[in-house]
């Protein structure tokens, strides 16, 4: 699998100027390529192929008076900028035709020097790690890096960024082998919410961490969920939609999306089954004892009694149990596919930060599978962990 490791870098004044030129040239090439394709589209001409576009906005442009200064930076930077444009178009077209899940992707936009983040990306022939710990970047020089942790392998690419505060960082993409954990028979249910960040089925409660980055060390300790359980089921969250409500600050303080992303990444890396339950599933409305759907409830209702069987439920505990049952159903329904795909364990090409990741886009209602198979023929039950949003009305 692919991991992304980030480090602070400290360029000297000359290197800052060289990076500034590289940022500007990459931005100009991206904009020239975008403009060329937009003009061709307006004129009714065919879509310009990538090779032809590179010849037009890089090779030929360097020979003109107005773009001769493109030669002052590494050609790797310019080629990768056009590759970013190609990926932006590919994502837009896939979103337009329904081939890409999730929110609609907007068409590529022109970049400006006023953007909050400037970046360049280089492949292996554009950078090198020195024996003295410096990072060599073509036509920039040897950058001083703060190595907060060692790289687990040889990086395949690096992205140099500058944020709005003028801070520089290097982000390396590294190939890493999965670290498969032993199978386990334990299971638990976890409910995510605002009153408590996470509620376990055994009654253990974790308080809301508030500002996520301050609590990342605490969240990493909670990744024992992956170590102690063979399968993780999580109700899909709509933090973006909830962020437009009066609960916006509380939602973003909770850091659900990052936490779930960390769990999914850990599941992929350590050979656990990971599946998402559709957010439309009424986890807080169904009685986990008898299955009766008791209807929506205001958020202030934390306990309720089932009108059919009289069972008394804690709202969060009940939701976790319901999502556990739904997660088991999803995995059971996808059992054949899970077994057939087990041979690709550990071969995922997901790019992920070392602490949080997007571990792929599985088909709706199907589990993401990596590592050793957990569903063996004749198994009587499915071991799992469940997370539920805890905001179902």
Residues classed as catalytic: 191, 235, 316
In a 13 Å sphere around the CA of 320, the CA atoms on its Cβ side amount to 25
| CA 342 from centre of chain | 22
| CA 292 from centre of chain | 36
Structure tokens at 269: 């890396």
Q: What's the DSSP call for residue 58?
A: I
Residues 6 or more apart whose CB falls under 8 angstroms from that of 31 comprise 110, 111
Q: Which of 328, 213, 195 is nearest to 262 (CA)?
A: 213
CA–CA gap between residue 229 and residue 180 (Å, rounded):
13
Residue 150 burial by Cβ neighbours in a 10 Å radius (0-12, 13-18, 19+): exposed
Residue 75 burial by Cβ neighbours in a 10 Å radius (0-12, 13-18, 19+): middle
CA–CA gap between residue 215 and residue 197 (Å, rounded):
12
Residue 174 near residue 188, CB atoms below 8 Å: no
Residues 6 or more apart whose CB falls under 8 angstroms from that of 104 comprise 95, 96
- How many residues comprise the chain? 393
Q: What's the DSSP call for residue 57?
A: I
Q: Which of 141, 128, 368 is nearest to 272 (CA)?
A: 368
Q: In what helix (H) or strand (E) does residue 390 lie, and over which residues does it extend?
A: none
CA–CA gap between residue 180 and residue 149 (Å, rounded):
22
Q: Is 49 left (phi over 0), alpha (psi -120 to 50) or beta?
A: beta
- The CA angle 240-273-320, to the nearest 5 degrees, is 60
């Amino acid at each position: 699998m692919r991991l992304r490791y980030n480090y602070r870098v400290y360029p000297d004044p000359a290197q800052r100027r060289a990076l500034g030129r590289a940022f500007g040239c990459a931005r100009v090439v991206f904009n020239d390529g975008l403009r060329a394709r937009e003009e061709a589209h307006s004129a009714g001409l065919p879509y310009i192929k990538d090779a032809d576009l590179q010849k037009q906005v890089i090779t030929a442009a360097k020979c003109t008076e107005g773009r001769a200064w493109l030669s002052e930076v590494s050609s790797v930077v310019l080629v990768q900028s056009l590759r970013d444009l190609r990926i932006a178009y590919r994502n837009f077209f896939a979103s337009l035709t329904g081939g890409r899940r999730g929110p609609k992707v907007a068409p590529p936009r022109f970049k400006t020097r006023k953007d909050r983040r400037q970046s360049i990306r280089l492949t292996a022939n554009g950078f090198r790690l020195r024996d003295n710990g410096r990072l060599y970047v073509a036509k920039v020089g040897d950058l001083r890096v703060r190595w907060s942790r060692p790289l687990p392998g040889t990086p395949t690419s690096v992205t140099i960024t500058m944020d709005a505060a003028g801070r520089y960082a290097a982000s390396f993409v590294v190939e890493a082998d999965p670290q498969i954990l032993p199978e386990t028979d334990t299971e638990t249910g976890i409910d995510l919410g605002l009153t408590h960040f996470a509620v376990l089925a055994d009654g253990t409660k974790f308080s809301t961490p508030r500002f996520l980055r301050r609590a990342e060390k605490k969240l990493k300790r909670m990744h024992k969920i992956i170590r102690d359980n063979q399968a993780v089921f999580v109700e899909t969250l709509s933090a973006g939609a909830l962020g437009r409500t009066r609960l916006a600050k509380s939602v973003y303080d909770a850091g659900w999306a990052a936490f779930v992303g960390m769990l999914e990444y850990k599941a992929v890396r350590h050979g656990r089954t990971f599946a998402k339950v559709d957010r439309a599933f009424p986890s807080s409305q169904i009685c986990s004892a008898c299955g009766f759907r008791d209807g929506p409830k205001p958020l202030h209702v934390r306990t309720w009694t089932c009108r059919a069987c009289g069972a008394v439920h804690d709202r969060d505990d009940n939701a976790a149990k319901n999502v556990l049952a739904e997660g088991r159903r999803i995995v059971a329904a996808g059992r054949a596919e899970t077994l057939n795909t087990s041979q690709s364990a550990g071969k995922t090409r997901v790019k992920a930060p070392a602490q949080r990741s997007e571990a792929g886009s599985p088909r709706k209602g199907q589990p993401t599978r990596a590592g050793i198979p957990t569903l063996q023929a004749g198994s009587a039950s499915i071991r799992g962990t469940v997370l539920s949003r805890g905001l179902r009305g």
